[in-house]
Amino acid sequence: YQAKEGGGSVATYDSSRDAASTDQLALLAELREALKTDDQLVLALQPAVDLATGAPTGVEALIRWRHPRRGWLGPADFIRPVENSEQLGAFTRYVVDKALGVAAGWARQGLTVPISVNLSARSLLDPRLPGEIAEALRRHQVPAHRLVLEITETVVMSELEVIDQVLTALRSMGVQLAVDDFGTGFSSLTFLTRVPVDELKVDRSFVIRMADSPEAAAIVRTTVGLAHELGLRVVAEGVETAAQRAALAELGCTAAQGYHFFKPMPADKIGAVLGSLLDEARPNVFPLRADG
Ligand code: C2E
Ligand code: MG
Ligand code: MG
Ligand code: MG
């Protein structure tokens, strides 16, 4: 994970890169402070819906940083440096804790929708992760099956054993696992034979190209078929149009997420949205709402 670039011995001075890394160091110092506060790192929440009933199948937590000087930052602005720093563990615990706090709030409203959290592959190298997540689940009194961990398949091949142990421990606790951006990594299919997962998320790039690329359409159809055959849920991500929605339904996909349905929204909005989605979808999804 070190030396993504410049691993060689070419010693040319690159002032722009120097400035960039200075800036990253500053950002990481600021993150250390942000992790001590409650209001800088916030979750945007985006429901996925069942294409047949409109009922929410889950909600994904997406991190945003309300930076006191830099303004709103998205994951693309800071996740990479965090992943390469010693703060990754603290950051992951922070996000899981916030997400479980949100799920606990829903439970008090009688909403038992699962929440999905994105994990950086490198956090799976930390054998303490399952214990930390177990502790957070207990503290928030959220049942393990209501937490879904989204992982990408670009899992470091040289560290398979640790990662498999961590994922197996999480899954035996009852936590659900989803493969995010499915089809974009190198090891997708092998991965499925190593670690039992619960859900596949079809990457947005295939959804976008589905209409004019027979290859993309075939990948979506095959992923849906694979999920079906393995007894896994499948969710298409990045659905922006009614045409894409219809094409997905045509290909047998049962659930989707994207701007066509909902943009990621603040925590204080989501409760009401979930409540009304469940009300509209009833009686089909009666068991999802405990107080129904
Ligand atoms: P992802 O998990 O694949 O998340 C989907 C991304 O697509 C999100 O971007 C979401 O806001 C965006 N999106 C959703 N629907 C649509 C749509 O219809 N059209 C378009 N164009 N985009 C859509 P975001 O929030 O910027 O997150 C980007 C990536 O950052 C995520 O990809 C995930 O890999 C990572 N990430 C987000 N939150 C966390 C986190 O808490 N921890 C870690 N480690 N990574 C995170
Ligand atoms: Mg995700
Ligand atoms: Mg994704
Ligand atoms: Mg993605």
Radius of gyration of the chain from its Cα atoms, rounded to whole angstroms: 20
Other CB atoms within a 10 A radius of the CB of residue 92 amount to 23
Helix axes of 160-173 and 129-140: crossing angle, nearest 10 degrees: 20
**Rounded Cα–Cα distance for residues 283 and 261 (Å):** 21
**Rounded Cα–Cα distance for residues 227 and 200 (Å):** 7
Residue-by-residue pLDDT tens, the chain, 292 positions: 333 343 344 445 555 566 668 888 999 999 999 999 999 999 999 999 999 999 999 999 999 999 999 999 999 999 999 999 999 999 999 999 999 999 999 999 999 999 999 999 899 999 999 999 999 999 999 999 999 999 987 765 566 788 889 999 999 999 999 999 998 876 667 788 888 899 999 999 999 999 999 999 999 999 999 999 999 999 999 999 999 999 999 999 999 999 999 999 999 999 899 988 888 887 655 555 554 3
| Ligand 1 atom at minimum distance from 239 CA | 18
Closest CA to 63 of 83, 48, 78, 85: 78
What's the CA-to-centroid distance between 109 and ligand 4, angstroms? 30
Other CB atoms within a 10 A radius of the CB of residue 91 amount to 22
**Rounded Cα–Cα distance for residues 42 and 291 (Å):** 28
pTM: 0.91
What's the CA-to-centroid distance between 117 and ligand 2, angstroms? 7
Which ligand number lies closest to the CA of residue 65? 1
DSSP H or E run through 234: strand 233-236
Report the b/e string of 43-63 with b at 16+ CB within 10 A.
Answer: bbbbbbbbbebebbbbbbbbb
Query: What residue's CA is closest to ligand 1, atom 15?
Result: 258
